[in-house]
A and B are shown apart, each in its own frame.
Chain A
Amino acid sequence: MSEKFDVIVVGAGPSGNAAALRLAEAGLSVLQIERGESPGSKNVQGAILYSDALEKLIPDFRDDAPLERHVIEQRMWVLDDNSFVGSHYRSDSFNKEPYNRYTMIRAQFDKWFSERVQKAGALLICETTVSHLLLDGQRVIGVMTDRQGGEIYADAVILADGVNSLLAKKAGFHPELKPKNVALAVKEIHFMPQEMIEQRFGVKGDEGVVIEMVGKITKGMMGTGFLYTNRESIAIGVGCMLSDFKNQKITPYELLEQMKAHPSIQPMLEGGEMKEYTAHLIPEGGFNAIPNLYGDGWMIVGDAGMFVNAVHREGSNLAMTTGMHAADTLIELRSEGKEFTSANLKRYKARLDESFVMKDMKKYKNMPDVFHTNPQFFNDYPDLISQAARTMLTVDGVDKKTKEKEIRKSFRQRRSLFGLMGDAFKLWRAFE
C-alpha cells in the first residue's frame, strides 16, 4: 500500500472530518485513517453541538444530521451535599430556526459527518491504527499503519488523533500531557421513554434542556458535572482535573455514582436504563498548554492541539474550526504552488490567531491556574451559597435583617474578608 496522497488525515472525529471534507471539496487527494470499526466508535463527548462551526462546513447539515434535541433551556446549578441553588434560562427565542445548539450522540454524529466527507471524495479506511509518523529528517512524509505493508505517503499529514496525541509525542513534536492539563470525565447514558423526558423537563417535541453543575459533587476538585437531554436518553457525567483525582485519591466511577445519588439529581434519572459507561480525557490546559501546531509536512488540529474552552464547555466547535483552517491553509498553498514546509504552514497559526479560536483561548489563559490554586470555588462557595438560600427561605420567626447578618458572618468566617475580596478579584481578572 505504498501509495501517495496529497494529504493524510489521522482520525475521523470532528477536527479530522472538517479537515478532510474541506480538502476533498477543493479537489486534493485525501486519505483519512480511523482506528475504530467506524467513525465515532472511539469517540466520546457530552454532547452539545454548536451549530455555527458546522454550518460553515456543511450549511445544510440540519437536513440529515442525527441531532437529538435543540436546547431551549440552560440551567446552572451550584450544589452542596443535599441541595442546589440554580439559575435557569429558558427562552422561546431558542425555539426559532435555525437553532443555535443541539444535543447529539457522538457515535451517530461522527458516522454521519464521515459519510459527508466520503461523498466529497475523501478515501476513508477504518480499523487501522497509525503506529507512528514517517520522517525524513524533520519532515513528515507519511504514516506507518498496522496493516500489511503499512507505509503510506503524503505531502502533509494532519494529526487529528485526539487528546492523547500519541503520534506527535512519538515524533518528539511535543512532550507528554501533564495531569494538571487534562480533565478526566466519566459519563453514562440512560435511556427512558421520550414522554418521560418531556414531562420531567417540561419540554415538547425536539426541545431540550441542559444542566451544568458545580459544587460539592466534585468533592473540592476542579471540575463540573452535566446532564443533557437527548430524544430518548439522558447523558449524565462529571469531569475533574486528573491532577485532582490523583492528589485526592478519588475514583472516578465512585464520584459519578455519588453524583447520581444526589437528591436533586436522582429523580431525573429514575426509571432509566443505563446502556453505556464511557470515560475520556478533555484537554483543559488552556492557551498556555497549546503545543507546537505545525512543522514540515504536519499540522495538529482539535483535541490534540488542546483546543478546548473549558469555561464555556466548547470543544467540538473548536475542533471543526481548527480542522477547517488547517485544510484551508493547505488548499491556499497548493493553489499558489507552494510546498507544505514549516515556514509556509505558519499561515495556519496566523489563521487561528485571527479566528475566535485563539482569541477565546487567550482570553481565558489564566483560568486554569486560578481554579487550580483556589479550591474554595468548588468547595466553600457552594456550601455558603446554599446555606444563604436556605437561611433566607426558611420561615422561622427570625427577622430578615438578622438573617442577612448571619449570612454575611458565615461568608467571613469561612473565607475572611480579605479572602472574599481576593476571590472576587481573582475571578474578575480571570474572566476579564
Chain B
Amino acid sequence: MTTSALPASPHHREPNPMEPHHMDVQHHTPWYEYFGFSLDHKVIGIQYLVTGFFFYLVGGALAGMIRVELVTPLSDFMTRDTYNQVLTLHGTIMIFLWIVPVVNGAFGNYLVPFYVGARDMAFPRLNAVAFWMLPPAGFLLLSSYFIGGAAQAGWTAYPPLSITTPAVGQIIWIVSVLLLGGSSIFGAVNFIATVLKLRRPGLGLFQLPMFCWAMLGTSVLVVLATPVLAGALILLSMDIVAGTGFFNPALGGNAVVYQHLFWFYSHPAVYIMVLPAFGLVSEILPIHARKPLFGYRSMIYSILGIVFLGLIVWAHHMFTSGTPPWMRLFFTIATAIIAVPTGIKFFNWLATLWQGKLALNSALLFCCGFIFNFVFGGITGVALAQVPFDVHVHDTYFVVAHFHYIVFGGTVFVIFAAIYHWFPKASGRLLNEHLGRFHCLLSFLGFNICFFPQHWLGLNGMPRRVAEYDPQFQLINQISSVGALLLAISTLPFLINVVWSLWKGAPAGDNPWRACTAEWLTSSPPPVENWLHEAPLVTEPYDYGSAEDAMPVTTVQGRELWSAGR
C-alpha cells in the first residue's frame, strides 16, 4: 500500500458509504463471557493470556524466593526441602503455565484465525476444552505445596531422585504436567487444522503472515514430541506408585532412558516456546519499521529447518551422562547447526529494521531487547553445544544464565512486545507509551543485571539448583539478586499501565499502527466473528514500503474484492 498517499492521521481509513458504520452494530463481548466456556477464539486467547500472566506472577514470586535465599552463601531463608520445591515449581510454572500457553494459546488463538481469514479456529469446542484444562492443572500443581509438599526433583524430574522424594508431590506434578501437555496437544491439532484447512479462498500458504508458519511448525513439534513426554511420565508414575522398575536401577531399570525420553520432548519445547515468539517478532517489526519483512521465504525455510533440527538434538542435555561417544559427536554438530537457520532469522530482522522508519515505541523496543538477549543466549548456546566446554559448565549457573537469556530475555520480552502491540486491538485503547518504555528499560536492565553475572558463576564453580554455595560467590549472587528485584519492580509500571489504560487509555481506533494484516482491518475490539462483512483478502501481509503500484488499504477489503488476489 502506498502510505504516502494516506493522510497523516492514524485514522486514515475513509469511511466507506457502502458498508454500515460498524461501531453502531457491533455487540461487545460481555465481561462474564471471559469467565465461561466461550467458543470465541479471541476470548479464549485473552483467557490464556490473563491466566498465564497470573502464573507468571506466581512463578516470579518463586524466583524472588530463590534469589532471596541466594543472597547469602548459607541455606538460611527456607529449608532445603522447601528450596527444592520452590525451584521445581518455578521451572514448571514458567514453562508449562506461562510461556507455552501464552505464546501458543494466547497469541496463537487470538491471531491465527484473523491471519487465515477465518471467523474462528477449526475446532472451537476443542479450543475451549484445551484452555479449561489449564486452570485446574495449575491450581493442582500449586495445591501440592500445601498437601504434603510439592515435587522436589526439579522440572526435569530425573529418576531415581524423583522416585525417592515424597510421592504425593511428584505424582501431582506428573498429573498436572500430563494435563498441560494434553492441553498443548489439543491446541496444536487445532492450529494445524486451522492453518491448513480454514484459509479464506484465494489465500495461499506462501501468502500467510509469518506467525502462521511459526504456529504450524510449533504445532508439528508439539504433536510429535509431547506424547513422548506423556509416555515417559506415565512410566515414571508407575515406578513411583506401582513399584515397577522402568527407570529404577535398583530394580534393573535404566535411569538414562528417562533422560532421553524427557529431552526428546523438552528440547523441542524450547522451540515450542521460541518459534511462536519469532513469529510475533516477524509481525511486529515490519509494521513499526514501515518496511516489508526481509527474506520472507528464507524465514519460512528456517522455521522448517529449526523444526527438523530441533527434533534431533535432545542428547546435548546429556553430554555428561553415560551416552555412547558417537552420540556426543552427532549431537554436538546437530545442535550447533541450529544456529544457522536461527541466525538467518536474526539477520533478516536486522535487515528489516535497516533503512526503515523506526517508531521507537514499547513494542519495537521490547523486540530490540529480545534480539540482543536472544543473540547473547544463542552464542552461549553454540558454546554449550561444544562437548569439551559443556563438560565443564553443564549443570552450572552458566546453563541457568543461558536458558534464561533464551526463554526470558527472548520469549518473555516478545510477549511484552506483543502485548503493547495488540492491546489496542483487543481493548480498543492504547497503552501509555511513557510507562511502556520505562517498563522496557527496567526489564532490560533488571534482566541483564540478574543473569549476565551468572555466566561467570557457572564458569568458576557454582552448580545450579543449590541453596548454599561457596562464600567467594556471594557478591556476584547479590548483584544478580538486585537485578531480580529490578525485574520484579519492572512489572509494576506494566500492571499500572494495563489497568489505567483499560479504563482511561486513549482510544486506539481500528488501525493505530497503519498495519496491513487482517486483524487491523476490523474494529477494535473486533466483533464476535471478526469482520462484519467478508473476511479481507490479505495476500501481501508485509506490503509496506513506498512501492509505486501498491493499492491503499481501503481497496483490499470488501465483497467486491473476493477475487482480487487470485
A and B pair up: no
A residues touching B (Cβ–Cβ < 8 Å)?
A: none
